[in-house]
Structure 1
């Protein structure tokens, strides 16, 4: 990281960014090129949890190659400057790399969906068998992540 003075090294501080953020973007790639998609997400057991329809570009790409990267950020305000190049932003961010795993058991799907619900303040709930059949749940096992901030 070029700006060591802005690096977040404390895992708890990185998890605080993850807990506060509303959107996670995952980056994927295949022979047609890169693809990035913003998602609702949850966090639990050092993994990101996402849900999806059973088909689509993201699903096709993850089935071919489970490697992905992710970005999570929070904008804490604009820093106005006297000239255009002196403007900046207060932010906190986490980027990382991991592998996507399609989960299949009802128990693991239930856990992942509840991680997502809890992230957005929805508590936990019991999902019906029908609900669990109609959704794809993906766990992204985080292999590495770094954080950065500008106060």
Structure 2
């Protein structure tokens, strides 16, 4: 990292950012052409779980090249200043790399969908008909590398805990 004073290396803080971020932008590459798509996700056990349709460009690309990169941010906002050159951004961010695979077992898919629902919904019934599960792809990204960065906030011990 070019600015080591902005690096977040603490695993607990990285986990907090992963859990509090709302959107994950996942990047893939095929034939030397990159492709990035924003997705809903859940983080659990050093893996990301992403919900998708069972067909489409991202699944085709991951089948050819399972190596992915992802980015997300938490508490990102513009930080205005009196002069144009003083404007900046405040954020906590993560960039990570991993290997993507598609979950096929209905029980594994159900567990992943429950993680997603727990993240985004106030109430869930944890019930998924077979007709829905059969049309649903769950992408699991086993994280191989993770780096965090912050700007505009004080160095966090855990972000969002009142010490920004």
- Using structure 2 for the length normalisation, give the TM-score: 0.87
Indicate how the Cα distance of structure 1 residues 104 and 20 shifts in structure 2: closer, same or farther if over 3 A, else same: same
The runs of 5 or more residues in structure 1 that have no matched partner are: none
For residues 105-140 of structure 1, the C-alpha deviation after alignment (integer angstroms, 9 at most, x for no partner) is 111101111111111134551322222111011100
Larger mean CA deviation between 120-129 and 50-59 belongs to 120-129
Count of aligned pairs between the two proteins: 151
Say whether the 8 Å CA contact 1:114–1:123 is kept in structure 2. Answer: no
Report the Cα offset of residue 51 of structure 1. 1.3
What is residue 137 of structure 1 aligned with on the other side?
Answer: 138
The yes-or-no answer on 1:126 pairing with 2:144 is: no
What is residue 56 of structure 2 aligned with on the other side?
Answer: 56
What is residue 71 of structure 1 aligned with on the other side?
Answer: 71
- Where 2:49 maps in the other structure, the secondary structure is strand
Distance, in Å, in 2 between the alignment partners of 1:11 and 1:4 is: 16
Say whether the 8 Å CA contact 1:43–1:119 is kept in structure 2. Answer: no
CA RMSD, 1 decimal: 1.3
Report the Cα offset of residue 32 of structure 1. 5.7
Distance, in Å, in 2 between the alignment partners of 1:132 and 1:93 is: 32
Indicate how the Cα distance of structure 1 residues 122 and 50 shifts in structure 2: closer, same or farther if over 3 A, else same: farther
Say whether the 8 Å CA contact 1:54–1:136 is kept in structure 2. Answer: yes
- Using structure 1 for the length normalisation, give the TM-score: 0.94
The yes-or-no answer on 1:84 pairing with 2:64 is: no
- Where 1:34 maps in the other structure, the secondary structure is strand
Large movers: runs of 4+ above 4 Å: none
Distance, in Å, in 2 between the alignment partners of 1:133 and 1:122 is: 25
The yes-or-no answer on 1:148 pairing with 2:149 is: yes
Report the Cα offset of residue 26 of structure 1. 0.3
Distance, in Å, in 2 between the alignment partners of 1:82 and 1:149 is: 22
Distance, in Å, in 2 between the alignment partners of 1:59 and 1:85 is: 42
